[in-house]
Amino acid sequence: MTGRAMVLRPAPAAWGRYLGALPTVAILLPLVVLPVTWLIARGIGVGTEYDWLEVVAGPLSVNLFWRPFANSVLVAVGAALLATLLGGLLALLFERTDIAGAKWLRPFIALPFLAPSFALAMAWVALFDNNRIGGSTGLLSAAGVTADDGLAWGVAPIVLVLGLHYFPLAYFLVAAALARLSAAMVESAALAGAGQWAILRTLIIPSLRPAFAASALICFAEAISNFSVPAILGTPVRFFTLSTQLYRLLESGQAFRGSLLLLLLTVFSLLCLTFVYRRWGGYQAPFAERIKRPALGFRLGRWRWPVTIAAGACVLLVALVPVLALLLSSLAHDGNPLSGDWTLHYWIGAADPLIAQGQKGVLRLAVVYEGLGVTLAFGLGAALIAALLALYMARWCRNNGPGLLPSLVNTTCLLPAMLPSIGLGAAFLALYGGPIGPLPALYGSFALLIMVGVAATLPYAMQSAYSALAYIPTSMEEAARVCGASSRQRLQTIVLPLSLRAVSAGVVVNFSRLIRNLDLVILIFTPMMPLLAVLAYRFSVDGFPQFARALALIILALAVLARLAALRMQRVYEERGL
């Protein structure tokens, strides 16, 4: 040996692995890494110690931070409890008892989550507005029952609306946990003489605790960062949460205070969702065999029909009443849905100076059709680009096996799902809204919308990509590589054709998620780039509730059609054994 120090160099295969990671880095750097870094750096370095003290301990800190913070926690805890209890109970009833009509009622469970949260808030106003604050007449007031101010506005309606909006999440999580229960475990308990309610109390419920806990924390994180529901139901009575306070500060030009609140809001959401992923992200119940309903044998007996009527009424009430309230209130000429003075003016009417300050119906407004085009292009474009980028990155992670780089890619892709939507939109606006060196400012451009949409849906697209690649044997790509096919050729001839059908269903689902997400685009919206969700919110704020509710129904119809298309595609794939 010589006296020279030995230098360890990666093998050529390792160098190729690092070079192959460059496209993935180029994807994640502008879409995830830089926005998240900006959120942290801006919040920490935006001001001096005095600025931090002013927000958390100054004379204005109570109204600026602590009261919105307490309101946010109160709303999030109440909504999480309501969503988890209602979703978990319905999952137990519909999935593991002999309740009648479960097959027909299940599709309605997803409707409150498919509906934009601001549409549910508008439906609440249409039902309970007492003509004291909002200036219009709700269905109850029209029927002669005046709702109390506490039921019409403030914390109670926000908790109820958010809880009803998120309970399908809890339902699907608990139902998925029930589907993984071991039939042998339950049957063994039954053979040992345990009754069905003893099995439920001592075996099923304890096994579902992780699913209930995950549901509660996810709903808590979603509710604490929701903007649209507190903005519609809380702002008229000056009930502010962190998200609405953040919007007020940024809109009024108080950037440093808004950045601090944005960082704090992001930290709360990150802590909740990180705890969920670390505690239950890889959770597998002590059961892998799919259980069948007869194996549990939960018979409701003489309570079958009373429970069926109660559960069916609850689901239909939550799913259909908001839609009917929106529809009736969008047709009410004088704001009274029960007066019989209905009109289609707010949908198809020509300009009339005596109605709505001369506004035409929504289907006659050019800005609505422009917004529809931008919304569809935004949803489809961002979902499709996210799906293709996710497929490339998921394939790279699979081909490079377990290791530090694939783990970093997977963790980085999950970050947008852990950020509040309004915070993600604010980060992209601040980062790319102005010029960066030779790059032009993207504020008001369609490119900025696409970027924030791709970032928001990237975590879900990655999961769809991994699911699609799970059915493509690695031996197929290896055989093509041995035969001389390049990586690009293998991607074009093997991966894309075989994964296209599964990924396309994920595109449709992400499209539905994007077009109804007001929080994500509320700060990016410009008159030159209208979106239906923001137009509906603007109509509501400007005092045109009928127009806002008509647009909310249009968005709901698009989301339901996308959901039906995804279900249809899934059914076709299952019939073909895919």
Which tens digits make up the pLDDT trace of 305-322? 998 999 999 999 999 999
- pLDDT-derived band at 284 (thresholds 50, 70, 90) equals very low
The structural domains of the chain, ordered by start, are 17-40+352-578 (1.10.3720.10), 47-342 (1.10.3720.10)
Residue 84 has pLDDT above 80, yes or no: yes
Q: Which residue has the higher pLDDT, 133 or 422?
A: 422
Who contacts 60 (Cβ-Cβ below 8 Å, separation ≥6)? Answer: 54
Distances (CA, A) of 9 to 12, 189, 243: 9, 59, 50
pLDDT in tens, 552-564: 999 999 999 988 8
* Residues 423 and 262: beta-carbon distance below 8 Å: yes
Residue 6 has pLDDT above 70, yes or no: no
Would you put residue 159 in left (φ > 0), alpha (ψ -120 to 50) or beta? alpha
- Of 169-183, 264-278, 291-305, 479-493, give the lowest mean pLDDT range: 291-305
Residue 296 has pLDDT above 60, yes or no: no
Question: ∠ CA(152), CA(158), CA(164), 5° rounding?
Answer: 110
Distances (CA, A) of 263 to 10, 69, 250, 332, 559: 39, 13, 13, 43, 31
Structure tokens at 463: 């999961």
- What is the pLDDT of the chain when averaged over all its residues? 82
Q: Which residue has the higher pLDDT, 418 or 520?
A: 520
* Residues 130 and 148: beta-carbon distance below 8 Å: yes
pLDDT in tens, 217-231: 888 888 988 999 999
- pLDDT-derived band at 279 (thresholds 50, 70, 90) equals low
What distance in Å separates the CA atoms of residue 530 and residue 533, rounded to the nearest whole number? 9
Element (H, E) at 488: helix 487-490
- Of 18-22, 282-286, 390-394, 489-493, give the lowest mean pLDDT range: 282-286
Segment 202-217 shows an average pLDDT of: 82
What pLDDT is recorded for position 103? Answer: 85
Residue 7 has pLDDT above 60, yes or no: no
In 3D space, the residue among 519, 74, 61 whose CA is nearest the CA of residue 260 turns out to be: 61
Dihedral sign from CA coordinates of 54, 59, 64, 66: positive
The residue type found at 517 is N
In 3D space, the residue among 160, 185, 187, 378 whose CA is nearest the CA of residue 297 turns out to be: 187
- pLDDT-derived band at 359 (thresholds 50, 70, 90) equals confident
pLDDT in tens, 153-205: 999 999 999 999 999 999 988 888 887 776 666 667 667 666 667 777 777 77
- pLDDT-derived band at 11 (thresholds 50, 70, 90) equals very low
Residue 250 has pLDDT above 90, yes or no: no
Q: What is the DSSP letter of 356?
A: G
What pLDDT is recorded for position 456? Answer: 93
What pLDDT is recorded for position 434? Answer: 86
- pLDDT-derived band at 479 (thresholds 50, 70, 90) equals confident
The number of beta carbons lying within 10 Å of the beta carbon of residue 442 is 22
pLDDT in tens, 116-146: 999 999 999 988 887 766 556 778 877 777 7
Segment 396-416 shows an average pLDDT of: 83
Q: Which residue has the higher pLDDT, 252 or 35?
A: 35
Work out the percent of the chain whose per-residue pLDDT is above 90.
Answer: 30
pLDDT in tens, 88-126: 999 988 988 888 888 888 889 989 998 999 999 999 998
What distance in Å separates the CA atoms of residue 396 and residue 495, rounded to the nearest whole number? 12
- pLDDT-derived band at 356 (thresholds 50, 70, 90) equals confident
Dihedral sign from CA coordinates of 460, 466, 471, 477: positive
What pLDDT is recorded for position 283? Answer: 44
Residue 50 has pLDDT above 90, yes or no: no
Q: Which residue has the higher pLDDT, 41 or 339?
A: 41
What distance in Å separates the CA atoms of residue 539 and residue 136, rounded to the nearest whole number? 14
What pLDDT is recorded for position 339? Answer: 64
Q: What is the DSSP letter of 137?
A: B
- pLDDT-derived band at 47 (thresholds 50, 70, 90) equals low
Residue 3 has pLDDT above 60, yes or no: no
Question: ∠ CA(256), CA(262), CA(266), 5° rounding?
Answer: 150
In 3D space, the residue among 271, 282, 281 whose CA is nearest the CA of residue 419 turns out to be: 271
Segment 473-500 shows an average pLDDT of: 77
The number of beta carbons lying within 10 Å of the beta carbon of residue 75 is 28
Work out the percent of the chain whose per-residue pLDDT is above 70.
Answer: 85
Beta bridge partners of 476: none
Segment 59-83 shows an average pLDDT of: 91
- Of 119-128, 320-329, 407-416, 483-492, give the lowest mean pLDDT range: 483-492
